């Protein structure tokens, strides 16, 4: 059995864990968190992030368009949710979104992705570095967008 690769992105966000969680749970969150350079199309939006909620994306892998079906699980109100690939470009994809309080107005936003590339060792050797770099860029963008959204929310309350 192939070993999973693990990618973790962690940022301090100046908002409560509950606020950050609610923002991720709102309709359209996936679209807001998708960088403009990523060729991702939402084919069927998940109705929410609760256990069993499913969605379908179309992503580009090289010159090909690939269907990516995912399901949410491990929902913990105000703290975390996961999405796992049901069908898609990875051999395995398991993404945990976690918001950990750091006092009343701050939290740690953590995205932990465990994944396996297709084609075993060949896939890892040929695409492993590229996927890791892509994940770094993706989650840097997502965390920045989240922090900026929380800053706008704070300003609107002032």
Looking at residue 62, its pLDDT comes to 80
- Give the pLDDT band of residue 119 (cuts 50, 70, 90): low
Average pLDDT, integer, range 69-82 = 98
Looking at residue 125, its pLDDT comes to 45
CA of 81: how far to CAs of 52, 67, 89, in Å? 11, 22, 21
Question: Positive or negative, the Cα torsion across 120, 9, 58, 43?
Answer: positive
What tens digit of pLDDT does each residue of 129-143 get?
A: 588 899 999 999 999
Residue 154 has pLDDT above 80, yes or no: yes
- Tokens at 22, concatenated: 């609610």
- Give the pLDDT band of residue 118 (cuts 50, 70, 90): confident
Looking at residue 130, its pLDDT comes to 81
What tens digit of pLDDT does each residue of 83-106 get?
A: 999 999 999 999 999 999 999 899
HEC string of 49-94 equals CCCCCEEEEEEEECCEEEEEEEEEEEEECCCEEEEEEEECCCCEEE
Report the C-alpha gap between 68 and 57 in whole angstroms: 5
Q: Closest Cα partner for 89 from 109, 110, 119?
A: 119
Looking at residue 4, its pLDDT comes to 85
Domain range 5-157, CATH architecture: 2-Layer Sandwich (3.30)
Domain boundaries, the chain: 5-157
| Element at 113 (helix H, strand E) | strand 107-116
Beta bridge partners of 83: 72, 95
Question: Is the separation of the CB atoms in 70 and 84 below 8 Å?
Answer: yes
Contacts of 150 (CB under 8 A, 6+ apart): 13, 14, 15, 19, 20, 23
Lowest mean pLDDT among 34-43, 57-66, 126-135: 126-135
Question: Is the separation of the CB atoms in 11 and 103 below 8 Å?
Answer: no
Residue 31 has pLDDT above 50, yes or no: yes
Residue 123 has pLDDT above 50, yes or no: no
Alpha helices, H only, 103-157: 120-157
């Amino acid at each position: 059995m192939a070993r999973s690769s693990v990618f973790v992105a962690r940022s301090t966000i100046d908002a409560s864990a509950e606020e950050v969680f609610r923002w991720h749970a709102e309709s359209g969150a996936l679209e807001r968190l998708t960088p403009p350079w990523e060729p991702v199309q939402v084919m069927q939006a998940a109705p929410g992030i609760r256990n069993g909620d499913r969605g379908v994306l179309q992503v580009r892998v090289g010159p090909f368009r690939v269907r990516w079906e995912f399901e949410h699980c491990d929902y913990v109100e105000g703290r975390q949710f996961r999405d796992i690939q049901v069908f898609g470009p990875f051999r395995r994809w398991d993404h945990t979104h976690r918001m950990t309080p750091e006092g009343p107005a701050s939290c740690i936003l953590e995205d932990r992705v465990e994944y396996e590339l297709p084609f075993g060792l060949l896939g890892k050797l040929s695409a492993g570095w590229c996927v890791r770099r892509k994940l770094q860029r993706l989650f840097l963008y997502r965390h920045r967008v989240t922090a900026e959204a929380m800053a706008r929310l704070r300003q609107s309350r002032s």
